[in-house]
Structure 1
Amino acid sequence: MEQIFLSHKGEVAALLTAVCWTFTSLAFESAGKKVGSMSVNLIRLVMAIFLLGSLSFIRFGYFFPEGATTSQWVWLSISGLVGFVVGDLLLFQAFVVIGARISMLIMALAPPLAALFGWIILGEQLTLGNILGMVVTIFGISLVILGRPVKGKRIQIKYSVKGILLAFGGATGQGLGLVLSKLGMGDYDPVPATMIRVITGVIGFSFIFIFTGHWPKVIKAVRYGAAMARISIGAFFGPFLGVSLSLWAIKYTTTGVASTIMAIVPVLIIAPAVVLFKEKVTIMEIIGSFIAVAGVVMLFVW
């Protein structure tokens, strides 16, 4: 068993990442509905700094990142702005509008988008199998979000268009952020690399809040005990453990394989969404979720 783990530690890390993101998406959906998605975004990143810094101090003897090159700081910082500030800001608002289950299903587009950005930025080639995988993923998502057409309309969308667009923006941010993370991380350790991304995210949100006057809402959110408990859970499983594991995964296996395994969240989240939030899930939505994940698998296996 130990030998299997050591030889597939990237794949194991990706699987654990998917489990973490299932927990964190449900926790942040609940917290976001209580205190707002923007406040949740900043608070969980601040929590993550203390968690990551403590782990870094135990492992390396320093709290804040050391030893990174200027190039690594630049690319990881850009990745943090793209992934945490832009991508997660849109995703967390999608949690509030359409819920974590549908949002994370649309997030299955992140791996195909990562492949597309890898082609544009890194010069990676897209095969016919890659393109087919993208089509199958989009088809699976379409089965879930599109309902039967009503009279006078050719297409009927079962969920909020605003929420769907927000989740798509989140998927775009995550796909691009993952490519930029791999580009910037190189041989650098995933924990301080994650810290660089998180610090940039905190700075980015701080500037946004200064110009939008959102700070009073953050202070109010901090005083809301029930929301803070959920944010704490989400922060531990999200920007601390989940993101660190995701960077560990792409360090020890290919971005494609890691993205494929991490993309099973839409399937993992169905059961807890039904149990915890009493969501009504149709057979067609379950089938669509499995097809979407199958499309992601096809994207990198073929």
Structure 2
Amino acid sequence: MSPEVIGQLAALLAASFWAVATLLYHRAGSHFSPLQMNLLKGVVATPLLLIVSLLFGNSLLSSSGGWLLALSGIIGITIGDSCHFSALRRLGPWHAMLLEYLAPPLAAFMAWIFLNDRLSVIEVTGALITLSGVLFVVTERAPDHTPSLSMSGVLFGCAAALCQATGLTMAFAVLMSSDMSAVDAALVRLAAGSLLLVIIVGLSRRGAYRTIARQLTAVNPMPLLGAILFGTFLAIWLQQVSIAHINPGLTQTLLSTAPLFLIPIALLKRQKLTRRSLLGALLSLSGIGVLFLL
């Protein structure tokens, strides 16, 4: 199997895992704050990645670029995932994930600005198509002509997409310039992001960790643990595998198919998706395809 195929399959599998995890995180969101969920996923998933790294016999000490990966973890995980969980609580799984379609064009524009990677007319067109698809959905109004989406949720979702694009681009730079493995890259990013969350949550209020422990004993923890296994441990690992084999633009394109995996899940659960949401999702996905695949 060629490296390109491995990278593409890893990204698609990560997207499907993230779609399932988003539904599970949404169920847990009524019991935990965004910061608490972000912290819990890091505390559980970091040791799992460490075990995998040790089993593969990798050595973090022999790899360079760790500081840049750590910074990408703080941006993408500490800030980005907290914003995503905030959007998830306010918007629900479908719209929160749909806003992640903004990440690929944002990554492209960032590469243009900071890496002098010029955009062609086709790439600019793809970015505009993606943005129009997202706007088509987030401006949808309820029958009584009141906004159907929380503006704060939309802002959190946009911030999450920006952080995701930034973190992924930084991780790609490290993987292309060092001998660090995909597992170790995921471990460094998650550990750095989680360590900062430990400090933030600990300083946020007295007895913060006792509160989290009480909440865990009062609810069924299985949805949250399932979300951590699929959405953090496996999905982040597969994401790093993908960007180690293909460029981050194509990885982000394939990762952005995650909302489409929610469609059959919603149909199986007999949930209704508006025609406007479906059209906006397909429009955004077509823009991402134009942006990176043509």
> Please, what TM-score do these two structures have when normalized by structure 1?
0.89
The 8 Å contact of residues 21 and 226 in structure 2, kept in 1 or not, is answered as yes
Task: Tell me the residue number matched to 1:28.
Answer: 25
Q: 1:104 to 1:149 in 2, by over 3 A?
A: closer
Task: Tell me the residue number matched to 2:140.
Answer: 147
Q: Does 1:18 align with 2:20?
A: no
Unaligned runs of at least 5 residues, structure 1 = none
- Give, as a single letter, the amino acid of the residue that structure 2 aligns with 1:203: L
Task: Tell me the residue number matched to 2:170.
Answer: 180
Deviations 1:44-89 (A, max 9, x none): 1111112111211221177xx44222xx111000000000000000
2:87 to 77, 88, 94: 94
- Give, as a single letter, the amino acid of the residue that structure 2 aligns with 1:109: L
Please give the alpha-carbon distance, in whole angstroms, between the structure 1 residues aligned to 2:119 and 2:212: 43
How far the C-alpha of 1:279 sits from its partner, in A, is: 4.0
How far the C-alpha of 1:150 sits from its partner, in A, is: 9.0
Please give the alpha-carbon distance, in whole angstroms, between the structure 2 residues aligned to 1:217 and 1:115: 42
Please give the alpha-carbon distance, in whole angstroms, between the structure 2 residues aligned to 1:191 and 1:161: 36
> Please, what TM-score do these two structures have when normalized by structure 2?
0.92
Task: Tell me the residue number matched to 2:152.
Answer: 162
How far the C-alpha of 1:208 sits from its partner, in A, is: 1.0
Q: 1:159 to 1:10 in 2, by over 3 A?
A: same
SS in 2 for 1:200: helix
Q: 1:50 to 1:299 in 2, by over 3 A?
A: same
Q: 1:48 to 1:149 in 2, by over 3 A?
A: closer
Task: Tell me the residue number matched to 1:268.
Answer: 261
Please give the alpha-carbon distance, in whole angstroms, between the structure 1 residues aligned to 2:181 and 2:58: 14
Number of residue pairs matched?
290
Deviations 1:255-283 (A, max 9, x none): 1111111111121112324544x643111
1:133 to 126, 129, 144: 126
Q: 1:150 to 1:39 in 2, by over 3 A?
A: closer
The 8 Å contact of residues 74 and 184 in structure 1, kept in 2 or not, is answered as no
The 8 Å contact of residues 15 and 256 in structure 2, kept in 1 or not, is answered as yes
Deviates more, 1:209-218 or 1:197-206: 209-218
Deviations 1:4-54 (A, max 9, x none): x65511111111111111111111111112222221111111111121112
1:67 to 62, 86, 101: 62
Please give the alpha-carbon distance, in whole angstroms, between the structure 2 residues aligned to 1:43 and 1:219: 10
Please give the alpha-carbon distance, in whole angstroms, between the structure 2 residues aligned to 1:181 and 1:294: 26
Paired residues for 1:282-297 under 5 Å: 282-297=274-289
Task: Tell me the residue number matched to 2:49.
Answer: 52
The 8 Å contact of residues 39 and 221 in structure 1, kept in 2 or not, is answered as no
SS in 2 for 1:117: helix
1:209 to 190, 196, 201: 201
Unaligned runs of at least 5 residues, structure 2 = none
The 8 Å contact of residues 44 and 239 in structure 1, kept in 2 or not, is answered as yes
Q: 1:7 to 1:204 in 2, by over 3 A?
A: closer
1:37 to 9, 22, 34: 34
Aligned-pair identity in percent equals 26
SS in 2 for 1:280: coil
**CA RMSD, 1 decimal:** 2.1
Deviations 1:109-136 (A, max 9, x none): 0111111222223222211111111111
